[in-house]
Amino acid sequence: MKLIATLRDRATITTEAAAPDVAGLRAAVLAATPPGHTLAALHGGGRVNGDLVGTAVYRPVATRTIEAEGRDYPSARKAIEALVPEEQVVLFVHAVDEG
């Protein structure tokens, strides 16, 4: 059985932002999105000097695929997992019909 897995880096970028209101805070963090990343979370931190402050977490959008084979699904899955570097995470795995 052949499996294909899609991987993404685990590393995230975290920044702080401030704005007068929620809409402004969201707009500020979206405008500050680093190239090759997407906004994963925005955590509100309350108000400081009248502004709403928050922490934005961005994750990479780039993915890559890997392939592995085994005599059955459990062995193929084990082979795939052995190929995943610690700094990456498996987003999904699917079986390839070789028939």
Q: What would the mean pLDDT of 11-15 be, rounded to a whole number?
A: 96
What does the alpha-carbon distance between residue 75 and residue 77 come to, in Å, rounded to a whole number? 5
Check residue 99 and give its pLDDT. 61
What does the alpha-carbon distance between residue 22 and residue 42 come to, in Å, rounded to a whole number? 10
Please give, one letter per residue, the 3-state secondary structure of 14-65: EEEEEECCHHHHHHHHHHCCCCCEEEEEEEEEEEECCEEEEEEEEEECCEEE
Domain regions of the chain by residue span: 2-96
In this predicted structure, the answer to whether residue 86 has a pLDDT above a threshold of 70 is yes
Tell me: the pLDDT tens digits for 25-74?
999 999 999 999 999 999 998 999 999 999 999 999 999 999 999 999 99
Tell me: the pLDDT tens digits for 16-27?
999 999 999 999
Check residue 97 and give its pLDDT. 79
Determine contact, residues 66/4, Cβ cutoff 8 Å: yes
Check residue 10 and give its pLDDT. 96
Determine contact, residues 3/93, Cβ cutoff 8 Å: yes
Check residue 93 and give its pLDDT. 96
| 3-class DSSP state of 84 | coil
